[in-house]
A and B are shown apart, each in its own frame.
Chain A
């Protein structure tokens, strides 16, 4: 039987959450480690798609190999020599990005408010407005302890994070195809907007890391709605499951109602933070800690799904 993991295109696993801080990156780093050095290794390319606040590298000790510029959108700039203070730009701008001086006229652009739409550029009767491309960030290829890592950094206050996510993923995918990696593990951003959608696009499987809290459950449902809309098959695991056991049952119920499998839960474990301080995935730093053992079980279940096998539903008990 030939499974998808053995065919030419890499399988894409994306890790999402909805709510921030549920432990996506801790899970992604553990998966990177287990894919490399676990009981049944599988070569994987790692992608950090949280370009706003990229943390995966903090656990993987990457050695940078390549650095590339990412040019995002543009910002309008008014040439004061050509500007006749006619005010057309201010009139057509829907983002309140054209500011007049206190005495009127003498227009200039608020670069933070500017959407980069170029409406003012096209409408200016004097051709006095240029659109200047902005260096919005960088993307990198690095060699991590567990395989190639593609990561990116959006400069603070920049837009187009979805495009940078797509770029980092595309580069990771090309490398996986060329160099024969069967798996790509994508650490996604929080939320359900453009960068999360870009991270989920084209994924074969999404693992949504939930939290058994009222806020975590609310946002987990929104994340599941998003992956369902884009027809990405999803699994759920629950982090810090012992914090509020009723919350775990609630998640289990909601998953059942949506036909989504909840594959396990990870207990709250101080070893996760201590491993982070050491710059390591918890599974590498303390493989016998409660969180590490639970992560191994979750990883094996995900592996089962990736292999196209029906994983046996695990009873929802502590590991």
Chain B
């Protein structure tokens, strides 16, 4: 099973919930008896990867994330311009007697090298990020880090998911980027369940609606965690009720939690009583996923 932890709005507590959910299952007796593997934790927020600051993984494996970009053999190139014409990302242009490449625009689709009538285009990898993996307190951990000044997070997310594959039957908990566009979609699209972390404020509600639209478009079951419960208003609550969206956990606003997180402590370190609440939430998610599977079967 793959649970993606996402949110429209940033800073609602995705990483807080994802990290403590994974840690709670590790100490849950019933869960451990039923599962052969410790959970795999994947931090897919490659622009702002923070989960390692709480889980302290020992990095044992790394891999560069790269995109293949064209390299033009000037001896063969006749400057016909077909490569630039087929490039929908405007990463190639013929200017005077040269083919210019704008590598940061290249998505690595390979269209230019296929179309070139002179076979003058080969491809070379352009590194845009780093993938790292290793054990973290009994969990399996992996994350991707987009290099600073690189614009495209999606290839790094895609390669992270392909590189850090779970064992058959292993639970994967995925920490997503905020928002409701391509990085979030790439992260959640192959999940079995999307846990939407929000806060009970007008911003939280507005962005929860957007994130929910994505999960519905992808046909994925979703549930909500209300973080900092007690601040703001009832908008999120009323919305969840009207949309039949289950509220799976509430974490009240608590200054001790906020201060603990600030210092790099986890929710379950500051408030150990959340271990059983989070394990219980995982069981409910697993029931919802089983029910959704039997519906579609």
Does B48 sit at the interface, judged by CB under 8 A?
A: yes
Contact with B along A200-231 (1 / 0, CB 8 A): 00000000000111111011001001100110
- B148 proximity list for chain A (CB < 8 A): 192, 222, 225-226, 229
Instruction: Provide the residues of chain A in CB contact with B10, threshold 8 Å.
Output: 17, 19-22, 53, 190
Is A52 engaged at the interface, CB distance under 8 Å to the other chain? yes
A-B residue pair count with CB separations less than 8 angstroms: 195
Residue picked from B47, B86, B231, most chain A C-beta under 10 Å: B47
Are A277 and B111 interface neighbours, CB within 8 A?
Answer: no
Residues A276 and B110 in contact in the complex (CB < 8 Å), given A162-B151, A213-B261, A215-B15: no
Asked, given contacts A162-B151, A191-B177, A193-B183, whether A21 binds B206 with beta carbons under 8 Å apart, the answer is no
Minimum CB distance partner of A52 in chain B: B179
Q: How distant is B26 from chain A, measured CB to nearest CB, in Å?
A: 21
The smallest beta-carbon distance between A259 and chain B, in angstroms, is 17
Contact of B88 among A95, A118, A193 (CB under 8 A): A118
Whether A318 sits at the interface, judged by CB under 8 Å, is no
Contact B180 A117 (CB under 8 A): no
Neighbouring A residues of B47 by C-beta, 8 Å: 18, 190-193, 196, 222
On whether the beta carbons of B263 and A94 are closer than 8 Å, the reply is: no
Residues of B within 8 Å of A20, CB to CB, are 9-12, 48, 178
B86 to chain A, nearest CB (A): 5
Q: Give min CB distance, B201 to chain A, whole Å.
A: 6
Task: Tell yes or no: B239 within 8 A of A by CB.
Answer: no
Whether the pair B107, A119 counts as a contact (CB closer than 8 A) is no
A268 and B225 alpha carbons, distance in the complex (Å): 23
- Complex Cα gap A123–B116 (Å): 12
Q: Which of A192, A196, A277 contacts B202 (CB 8 A)?
A: A277
Chain B 114-148 near chain A by CB (<8 Å), digits 1 or 0: 11000000000000000000000000000000101
The B interface, classified by DSSP as helix, strand, loop or mixed, is loop
Contact B109 A244 (CB under 8 A): no
Query: In the bound complex, do residue A213 and residue B180 qualify as a contact, i.e. CB atoms below 8 Å apart?
Result: no
Q: Which residues of B contact A73 (CB under 8 A)?
A: 88
Instruction: Write out the residue numbers on chain B whose beta carbons fall within 8 Å of the beta carbon of A225.
Output: 148-149
Q: Give A18 to B184 CA distance when docked, in angstroms.
A: 16
Contact with A along B262-293 (1 / 0, CB 8 A): 11100000000000000000000000000000
Quote the shortest CB–CB distance from B191 to chain A (angstroms): 13
* Complex interface: chain A residues within 8 A of B110 (CB): 92, 94, 119
Is the pair B217, A117 in contact by a Cβ cutoff of 8 Å?
A: no
Q: Which of B57-65, B70-78, B207-215, B241-249 contacts A (4 or more CB under 8 A)?
A: B207-215
User: Across the two chains, which residue of chain B brings its CB closest to A24?
Assistant: B10
- The complex places the Cα of A95 from the Cα of B159 at a distance, in Å, of 11
Interchain CB contact (< 8 A) of A58 among B150, B203, B255, B262: B203
Across the interface, do B217 and A156 meet the contact criterion of CB distance under 8 Å?
yes
Q: Establish whether residues B201 and A276, one from each chain, have CB atoms under 8 Å apart when the complex forms.
A: yes
* Chain A positions within 8 Å of B152 at CB level: 193-194
Are A194 and B180 interface neighbours, CB within 8 A? no
Tell me, yes or no, whether B102 is within 8 Å of chain A by CB.
no
Contact with B along A81-121 (1 / 0, CB 8 A): 00000000000101100000000000000001101111100
A218 to B262, CA, bound (A): 12
Q: Does B181 contact A (CB under 8 A)?
A: yes
CA distance A191 to B149 in the complex (A): 11
Q: What's the Cα separation between A19 and B177 when bound, in Å?
A: 10
| CA distance in complex: A162, B189 (Å) | 21
A residues apposed to B, CB below 8 Å: 17-22, 25, 52-53, 55, 58, 73-74, 92, 94-95, 112-113, 115-119, 122-123, 131, 154, 156-159, 161-162, 189-197, 211-216, 218-219, 222, 225-226, 229-230, 240, 243-244, 246-247, 268, 270, 273, 276-277, 279
Extra A-B contacts (10), CB below 8 Å, given A18-B47, A92-B110, A225-B149: A19-B10, A19-B11, A19-B50, A52-B180, A112-B189, A117-B109, A122-B86, A161-B181, A192-B146, A244-B259
**What are 10 pairs between A and B in contact, CB < 8 Å?**
A112-B217, A117-B89, A162-B151, A190-B179, A197-B149, A230-B149, A243-B255, A243-B262, A244-B262, A268-B258
